[in-house]
């Protein structure tokens, strides 16, 4: 199994847990500046220690990233990681006939 396949499996497994999926979707809407861990915990109704675990899993599989500003950590979606995951999923679309998946190319993010 390739390293690319392994990371995609890890990403999909991370998103397969309901709370992590909700956190990920919230971060996708937060934009590039992200949201502080405290504000995210409050918005999601998740205890900070539980949220920390979810954020760690999503960070390790490159779906989100953290940035520090003083003592505060801000989390945002890693759009490049998401794009790589989606590209990897459809890379072998329809047994070598990617034109069948052409509709995917028409999807625009934040248009």
pLDDT score recorded for residue 90: 78
Distance of alpha carbon 77 from alpha carbon 46, whole angstroms: 18
Domain 3-105 in this protein, CATH class: mainly alpha
Convert the pLDDT of each residue in 45-72 to its tens digit: 999 999 999 999 999 999 999 999 999 9
Phi-psi region of 20 (alpha: psi -120 to 50; beta: other; left: phi over 0): alpha
Q: Which pTM was predicted?
A: 0.83
């Amino acid at each position: 199994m390739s390293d690319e396949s392994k990371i995609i499996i890890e990403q999909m497994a991370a998103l397969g847990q309901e709370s992590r999926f909700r956190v990920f979707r919230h971060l996708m809407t937060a934009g590039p500046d992200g949201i502080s861990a405290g504000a995210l915990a409050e918005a999601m109704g998740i205890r900070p220690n539980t949220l920390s675990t979810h954020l760690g899993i999503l960070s390790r599989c490159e779906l989100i990233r953290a940035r520090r500003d003083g003592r505060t950590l801000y989390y945002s979606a890693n759009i490049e990681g998401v794009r790589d995951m989606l590209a990897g999923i459809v890379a072998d679309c329809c047994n070598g006939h990617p034109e069948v998946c052409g509709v995917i190319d028409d999807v625009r993010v934040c248009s």
